[in-house]
Each structure stands twice: as structure tokens, then as C-alpha cells.
Amino acid sequence: MNRRIMAKWGSLLMVVTCLFAGCARQTESTTKKTKPTESTRPSVYVSVAESESSASSGNALPDGTNPDPAASSDGTTASEGGVLGESTKGEGAGGESAETSAPGGDYLANLLSLKQQMLDKKDYYNGLDNVAEDTWCFQRKKDHEPSGSYEYFNLKEYGGYYINDHVPEGDKVVYLTFDCGYPSNRTVNILDTLKKHNVKASFFVTKMYLEECSDYAIRMKEEGHMVCNHTVNHKDLTVMEVEDIISEIFDVAQYFYEKTGYEIDPYFRTPTGSYTKRVMQMIKDAGYTTLFWSLAYDDYDQNNQPAPGFIIDHFQKFHHNGAVILMHNDSSSNERDLDEVLTYLEGEGYRFGLLDEIA
């Protein structure tokens, strides 16, 4: 069906459907973080020195917290309850194989139906553990060993991954991911560089980004990239009401479909890497796999970009097989150095995979 026709029908359905607003609560919380502007996004990495010190001391995180993957304040696991039960890649928001989707059914109608099912489960979600011990934190290792994890519960039980830990023997692969939280015309040069190298990547987009850069998102899909969910407003989901979390998840997929005619790919990244059992269970029930990362550097502050030579040096030190690489679309340093990075990784024998290889 022509994408323009689908967009018109999507808009009509939106008018007659009661939707909740996708906005965050503006209340105080011990886990609340400031609005993630360019200067307040948290550091995305842990140094090798910190990693070695933490590993030897038993204090996993630099701030002294001790994320025990087995710890749980309420004893619940991802298998207890849930709207769709065991969610897998391609279900719910990202595909037509969700349990709520009739064969040949309308994507948008199924999306809104699933959203309502989750709203009807508000009390269930309110009862899930929502303790946020920390944002996502990984452990860098030397000699190109795969990065370790400081997860404070088992991410896989909640449909979460940060690395491909099952790369076939003899294969060398990395996964480029770009967070598109904020509109930026630097995306054009990034796409041009990817096209030059015939490399596919995964872009995590917000509604804020799509409102100004939907043409870029259409180009991403046309050129074989994945376009994935990064929420509506790029705010911390762990401090929101259940209804607002649901809107942050579903309203991006709906807007993307109405604006472009494409279905969003079934992968999700939380803003700033914040996560709890409740948030990840809701993401899983909406049909998504949550993707964190195993290789990153501070590229998000527009006023403090990596100096020339830093990024390529970082990749030379820390590249590893199965790496999920986090980069930001609005980074002038990424725009400048991406070509050199791709050339280097190609020379090291890596291919560039898409996220459906991970989960």
C-alpha cells in the first residue's frame, strides 16, 4: 500500500482512538535524573583502571554500589506474568507475529490494541520491582576481550542484551548503533559514509527526532538500516507512571508508521541507559528487545567533543568480537572520524551486522 495512503488512514485512526499523553512526571525522586541535555547525559563508559579495581575489590561500580545479578527486592522474575507472556523478536510493535495480531491484520490497529492491553494491566506493572540501582554500566577489558557487564539483575530474563555472546566460531562481527535523541543534520554525512562502505547500522530514534528528521529515517529504511525505538521525549522511564511509560513506548512506533509508512524495528534503547525490572518487562511485553552497548565513549556533549585521533585510538584499543557500538548522530567527531573507523575495522576483518543476529 502507498505510504501516503497508509499515513492518512493512520491519522484517522489516531483521531478516533483515545491515547494517553507521552510525557514524563515532573516530580522529585531519589532516582530521578535531570533532563538529558547535551551537557547532562551521564558518562557511558568505565575505564580499564576502574574496571580492574572494581573486579578485584568486589565493588562492581565506580560509585561503590554492588550490583548482584541475583539480587531482587521482590523476588520476581521476567517469567512471572506479563501481557504477551514470552516475547520474542518480531512480536508486538516491531512485527506482525504478535499474539494479538490477526493474520493479515492492520498494523496500526494491532499496535493500538496491544497498547490498550498493557494499559489494562496497569496494576500488574505497578506491582513490579522498579528499583534503579544504576544506569547501564559495562566493564572494558584489555587485549580485545569482550566487555563485561555490571548488570544488577539478569538482563536476558527481561529481553535485554548488550553484546552478541554467541558469535559463530571463525566469524568477526560488530554492530553499529546510533542514538538519535535530538534532530541533527549531521545524520546525512553519517548515512553517506555508511553507504560509501556498504555498512548497515541500527538507528534508535525519538519522536522528537522524527518530527524534524523523518526524511532521514525514510532514507535509513530505504538503504537497509534498522530504525528502532528510543522513546518519545528522551526522558528517564524509571521515574514515570505506568501510563506514561506505555505512551513513551507506543507513540513513537505509531508516529513513525504514520509519518513514513514503515513499521519500527523491534529493538529498544532506554534514554541514558536507565533500567529497572518493571521498565524492561514493559518493553518486552510491548514486543521489543532492549539493547544496551559494550563499546562507547563520551561523544554526546556538543561542547566537549573528542579531539582528533581519540576515536580511532579508542577503537584500536577496545574493539572486540560481538561488540554493540554506541555512537550519537549529533556528534561532530563521529561525523568527522566515522570513515576512518570503518576503514580500520574492515582492515581488522570485521563485518557489520544488524541486531536480529543478537536476538
Q: Give the active site residues.
A: 179, 328
Q: Where are the alpha helices (DSSP H) in the chain?
A: 3-16, 48-57, 107-120, 122-126, 186-197, 207-222, 242-260, 277-285, 310-318, 332-347
What's the CA gap between 160 and 154, in Å, rounded?
8
Where are the strands (E) in 60-199, listed by range?
138-139, 148-149, 160-161, 173-180
What's the CA gap between 240 and 346, in Å, rounded?
42
Structural element, H or E, at residue 324: strand 324-328
With CA atoms as reference, report the closest residue to 51 among 59, 43, 42, 41: 59
What's the CA gap between 191 and 329, in Å, rounded?
10
DSSP annotation of 155 reads G
Q: How long, in residues, is the chain?
A: 359
With CA atoms as reference, report the closest residue to 245 among 275, 217, 265: 275
What's the CA gap between 250 and 258, in Å, rounded?
12
